[in-house]
């Protein structure tokens, strides 16, 4: 056992892996129920969007073997293979729709919250543990619990790895299950998202600190971490398959330091509704961060928490995840987005709970803090639901095709309505209420045109790969331009749609066109290509 644990008066026992007194408090259950309710209602009102459709199309196949073949040869959903089988299983059980594709995210988010409670309850009073459980739902990361993407599940694996490591290092025996769950959580984190590899920074850093402090190695723990880290080998074939997207990925220009600030800002309450006031948010973030770290160190120095130094190092390193992610982009020469780094929340939540301990220790003040937290989560959840419901209504209203446009579309049994914007095509192909119109929608792509006008080829590669397994009508622009007669093409404002180049391409082609109406936010044009 390391000396810091002895100094804090901790004696490792089998009870360290269980809820104290064998119970899970009603307040924690209430916060989990609130998270679940908000996520389910949010999922009900929010339409599937582009990245989710990529997951849906990929996983909606007949077998795991076919799924693996797609991800190895023609991927459109750019993550390792650990996430896809989970979504595949969920869709087989609950259907190939929003609930089936989003359920793993909700379960991953709830797993994170439960693990945060267990981790903090071992070092602090019950109300502090409940605070740590609830804190993530206060910010915009709650949205990922209701989206069919890998980020919420990655948060769950991060938290499971953290609490499994804590269990293993606080015991001298009876820790087989903790070591196995640690290895599994690391493997799954690495294979859920490529940036899951960042989990190894706090994990290895904290274990290195612990080894130096103890002056000896904990071989079983190191073997568990090593077995989990070896899971990165499973990602290599799939990483090779997605490299084709690398050179021109959405005008890839590497990482920017601003991503670090935006990632930290995203953990602030309500930042999704106040991000336009960036200067105010940055000042608030700086004050919050300094106050949080100061109070955490004060509590740690005063021995008011049962926190060994190695565990404190884990939290601090995990809280610094955005900086490590930024450095990682130079090694991999890849782009960086804030959602890749939301594992930082697994470190910040316990730090915040410890910082609030002076209030949470007091019975009345602690209850008031938790009640205020509950109401704030409910309020921001309602705001998210209202926003997504209004967005959904706007999208659905835009899918109503005017009678004259539909008549032009149905004038020939083979006429199609071509869409070059992949985002709008994905939603229209799923949500268009008229089955006749929906069956006539076609995706048009062109690597030459996309590179020429937007210096990228992500949309073109996605369209090309989709032809291999989705069954949608998907046509190269070069083929479409050779078709005689009027072709119906939906053209979008190029300033608002960086993945749609049709307006520029048609203007450069000097094609004759007539506007017929609108669809999915764009203009339906009858285009006659000049030979």
How far is it, in rounded angstroms, from Cα 493 to Cα 364? Answer: 56
Regarding whether 493 and 473 lie in a shared domain, the answer is yes
Tens digits of residue pLDDT in 129-185: 999 999 999 888 899 999 999 999 999 999 999 999 999 999 888 899 999 999 999
Share of the chain above pLDDT 70, in %: 86
DSSP state of 46: S
Regarding whether 335 and 300 lie in a shared domain, the answer is yes
Q: Which long-range contacts (C-beta less than 8 Å, at least 24 apart) are formed by 61-66?
A: 61/88, 61/469, 64/88, 66/469
Question: Is pLDDT above 50 for 99?
Answer: yes
**Residues 87, 198: contact at Cβ < 8 Å?**
no
pTM: 0.90
* C-alpha separations of 159 from 108, 114, 254 in Å: 10, 9, 28
* C-alpha separations of 518 from 258, 304, 377, 490 in Å: 37, 64, 39, 8
Sign (positive or negative) of CA dihedral 340, 345, 346, 347: positive
17 falls within a domain:
no
Determine which helix (DSSP H) or strand (DSSP E) holds 515, and give its type and residue range: strand 512-519
Regarding whether 351 and 476 lie in a shared domain, the answer is no
Choosing from 390, 407, 423, the residue where a domain stops is 390
Q: Which domain holds residue 380?
A: 24-245+255-390
Regarding whether 453 and 344 lie in a shared domain, the answer is no
Regarding whether 171 and 82 lie in a shared domain, the answer is yes
Regarding whether 335 and 417 lie in a shared domain, the answer is no
Regarding whether 425 and 305 lie in a shared domain, the answer is no
Please give the tally of structural domains in the chain: 2
Regarding whether 360 and 425 lie in a shared domain, the answer is no
19 falls within a domain:
no
487 falls within a domain:
yes
Can you give the pLDDT at residue 3?
39
Residue with the two structure tokens 């000896």: 216
Regarding whether 221 and 153 lie in a shared domain, the answer is yes
Phi and psi (nearest 5°) for 344? -55, -30
How far is it, in rounded angstroms, from Cα 148 to Cα 54? Answer: 10
507 falls within a domain:
yes
Regarding whether 383 and 340 lie in a shared domain, the answer is yes
473 falls within a domain:
yes
Can you give the pLDDT at residue 11?
35
Choosing from 390, 407, 439, the residue where a domain stops is 390
Partners of 487 in beta bridges: 527
Regarding whether 416 and 317 lie in a shared domain, the answer is no
Tens digits of residue pLDDT in 287-310: 666 666 666 667 666 666 778 889
**Nearest Cα residue to 505 out of 424, 445, 427:** 445
More confident residue, 227 or 508: 227
Determine which helix (DSSP H) or strand (DSSP E) holds 524, and give its type and residue range: strand 522-528
13 falls within a domain:
no
221 falls within a domain:
yes
Regarding whether 163 and 40 lie in a shared domain, the answer is yes
Tens digits of residue pLDDT in 330-370: 776 677 777 888 899 999 999 989 888 888 888 999 999 99
Can you give the pLDDT at residue 288?
64
Q: Which two tokens stand for residue 413?
A: 């049994």
pLDDT tier, 24 (very low <50, low <70, confident <90, very high otherwise): confident
347 falls within a domain:
yes
**Residues 499, 458: contact at Cβ < 8 Å?**
yes
Can you give the pLDDT at residue 2?
42
Question: Is pLDDT above 70 for 246?
Answer: yes
Tens digits of residue pLDDT in 461-493: 999 999 999 989 999 999 998 888 889 999 987
Residue with the two structure tokens 């209004």: 390
Choosing from 342, 358, 390, the residue where a domain stops is 390
């Amino acid at each position: 056992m390391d000396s810091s644990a002895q100094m804090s008066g901790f004696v490792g026992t089998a009870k360290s892996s269980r809820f104290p007194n064998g119970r899970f408090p009603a307040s924690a259950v209430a916060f989990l129920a609130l998270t679940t309710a908000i996520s389910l209602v949010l999922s009900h009102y929010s339409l599937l969007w582009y990245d989710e459709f990529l997951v849906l199309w990929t996983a909606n196949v007949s077998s795991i073997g076919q799924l693996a073949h797609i991800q190895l040869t023609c991927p459109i959903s750019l993550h390792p293979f650990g996430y896809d089988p989970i979504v595949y299983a969920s869709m087989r059980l609950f259907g190939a729709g929003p609930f089936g594709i989003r359920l793993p995210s909700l379960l991953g988010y709830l797993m994170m919250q439960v693990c945060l409670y267990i981790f903090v309850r071992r070092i602090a009073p019950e109300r502090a543990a409940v605070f740590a459980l609830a804190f993530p739902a206060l910010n915009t990361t709650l949205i990922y619990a209701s989206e069919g993407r890998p980020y919420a599940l990655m948060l769950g694996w991060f938290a499971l790895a953290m609490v499994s490591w804590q269990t293993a290092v606080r015991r001298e025996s009876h820790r087989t299950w903790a070591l196995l769950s640690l290895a599994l959580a690391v493997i799954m984190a690495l294979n859920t998202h490529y940036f899951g590899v960042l989990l190894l920074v706090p994990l290895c850093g904290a274990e290195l600190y612990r080894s130096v402090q103890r002056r000896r190695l904990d071989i079983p723990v190191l073997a568990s971490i090593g077995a989990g880290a070896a899971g990165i080998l499973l990602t290599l074939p799939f990483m090779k398959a997605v490299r084709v997207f690398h050179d021109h990925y959405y005008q890839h220009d590497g990482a920017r330091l601003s991503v670090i600030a935006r990632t930290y800002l995203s953990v602030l309450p309500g930042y999704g509704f106040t991000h336009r006031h960036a200067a105010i948010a940055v000042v608030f973030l700086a004050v919050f961060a300094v106050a949080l770290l100061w109070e955490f160190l004060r509590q740690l120095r005063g021995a008011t928490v049962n926190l060994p130094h190695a565990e404190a190092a884990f939290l601090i390193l995990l809280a610094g995840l955005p900086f490590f992610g930024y450095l990682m982009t130079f090694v991999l020469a890849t782009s960086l987005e804030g959602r890749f780094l939301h594992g930082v929340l697994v470190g910040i939540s316990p730090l915040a709970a410890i910082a609030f301990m002076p209030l949470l220790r007091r019975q009345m003040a602690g209850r008031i803090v938790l009640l205020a937290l509950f109401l704030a989560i409910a309020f921001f959840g309602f705001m998210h639901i209202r926003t997504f419901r209004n967005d959904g209504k706007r999208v659905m209203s835009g899918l109503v095709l005017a009678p004259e446009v539909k008549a032009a579309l149905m004038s020939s049994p083979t006429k199609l309505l071509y869409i070059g914007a992949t985002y709008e095509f994905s939603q229209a192909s799923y949500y268009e209420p008229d089955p006749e119109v929906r069956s006539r929608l076609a995706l048009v792509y062109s690597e030459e045109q996309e590179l020429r006008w937007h210096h990228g080829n992500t949309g073109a590669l996605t369209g090309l790969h989709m032809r291999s397994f989705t069954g949608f009508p998907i046509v190269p622009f070069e083929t479409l331009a050779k078709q005689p007669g009027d072709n119906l093409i939906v053209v979008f404002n190029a300033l608002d749609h960086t993945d749609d180049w049709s307006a520029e391409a048609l203007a450069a082609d000097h094609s004759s066109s007539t506007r017929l109406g609108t669809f999915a936010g764009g203009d339906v044009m009858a285009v006659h290509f000049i030979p």
